[in-house]
A and B are shown apart, each in its own frame.
Chain A
Amino acid sequence: MPHAILDRPPLLEVSHLDVDYVDPPHPPAAALRGITFTLQRGEALGIVGESGCGKSTLMLTLLRLLPAAGRIVAGSVRLDGVELLDLDARAMAALRWKRIAMIFQGAMNALNPVRTVGEQIAEAIRRHEDVTNRRALDRRVSELLDLVGIAASRREQYPFQYSGGMRQRAMIAMALACSPDIVIADEPTTALDVMIQAQILQLLADLRRQLQLSILLVTHDLGIVAELCDRVLVMYGGVMAEYADADTIYNGAAHPYTQALLQAFPDPTQPAQKLAAIPGAPPRLTDLPPGCRFTPRCPHVFARCHTAQPPLYAVTPAHQASCFRAETTSGGAHA
Chain B
Amino acid sequence: MILCIRVDESQLVHRSVYLANKIAWAAFTILFVIVLNFFLFRILPGDPARAGVRDPRLTAEAQAAIRTRFGLDKPVINCFTSLNPLEPGDCAVNPLDTQFFIYAGNLLRGEFGISYHTNRPVVEVLGERLWNTLLLIGAGQILAIVLGMALGILAAWKARTPVDYGALGFSLLAWSLPTFWLGIILLFWGSTYLGLPVGGKSTPGINYANTWEELVDLARHLFLPSLTYTIVFLGEYMLIMRSSLVDVLAEDYILTAKAKGLNHFQILKDHALKNAMLPMVTIIALNLGFTVAGAVQIESVFSWPGLGGAIYEAVNRRDYPMLQGAFLLLAVSVIVANLIAELLYGYLDPRVGVE
Q: Could you tell me which A residues sit within 8 Å of B by CB distance?
A: 63, 65, 93-98, 101-102, 104-105, 108-115, 123-124, 127-128, 151, 153-154, 156-158, 160-161
Contact = CB atoms under 8 A, between A and B. Distances in A.
Contact of A65 (B1, B5, B258, B274): B258
Contacts of B350: 113-114, 158, 160
A97 B253 contact: no
Interface residues of B, number: 29
B253 A110 contact: yes
A123 B270 contact: yes
Contacts of B271: 112, 115
A82 to B, nearest CB: 16
Given A65-B255, A151-B1, 13 more contacts: A93-B262, A104-B252, A105-B252, A109-B253, A110-B253, A110-B256, A113-B350, A114-B351, A115-B270, A115-B271, A153-B1, A158-B351, A161-B11
Q: Which of A97, A112, A127 has the most CB of B within 10 A?
A: A112
A250 to B, nearest CB: 31
A97 B259 contact: yes
A251 B44 CA distance: 88
Interface of B: 1, 4-5, 7-8, 11, 251-253, 255-263, 266, 270-271, 274-275, 348-351, 354-355
B259 A63 contact: yes
Contacts of A111: 253, 256
A138 to B, nearest CB: 15
A156 B8 contact: yes
Contacts of A93: 261-263
A111 B255 CA distance: 10
A108 to B, nearest CB: 6
A105 B255 CA distance: 12
22 contacts: A65-B258, A65-B259, A93-B261, A97-B259, A104-B259, A108-B252, A111-B253, A112-B253, A112-B256, A112-B257, A113-B253, A113-B349, A113-B350, A114-B348, A127-B262, A151-B4, A153-B1, A157-B8, A158-B351, A160-B351, A160-B355, A161-B11
A156 B5 CA distance: 10
